[in-house]
Amino acid sequence: MNEAAKGRSALFAGGVAAILASTCCLGPLVLLALGFSGAWISNLTLLQPYQPVFIGLAIVALYFAGRRIYRPAQVCGPGEVCAIPRVRGGYRILFWIVAMLIGVAMTFPFIAPWFY
């Protein structure tokens, strides 16, 4: 696996872990916003015990992705994807989007009671 694929897979893993970490709390809120209602929505907390694990995995994946994305361009060989400034910029934007998703997953359980 080349360097670009490793960075991309770490970034993807961080995004998936962030989404999984926020499903226990954000899922019922999204359903309520879409107009779904009922007592069964309160039972959608199946993944809540695993939320710290998902957040931890997301932070670890984000760490490895950040190491690959923010390394100096001189480390990249000529012709590699990481040496192209436009691609590096795109990866950095995706990196911060995933970081914001993780931030939402970490803070949402504390602010969710304000919305219910």
Q: What is the pLDDT of residue 21?
A: 66
Mean pLDDT per segment of 10 residues, for the chain of length 116 residues?
65 72 65 69 67 80 82 71 78 86 79 75
pTM of this structure: 0.59
In the prediction, which pLDDT does 43 show?
63
**Amino acid identity of 113?**
P
Give the whole-angstrom CA distance, residue 35 versus residue 85.
Answer: 44
Residue extents of the structural domains in the chain? 3-114
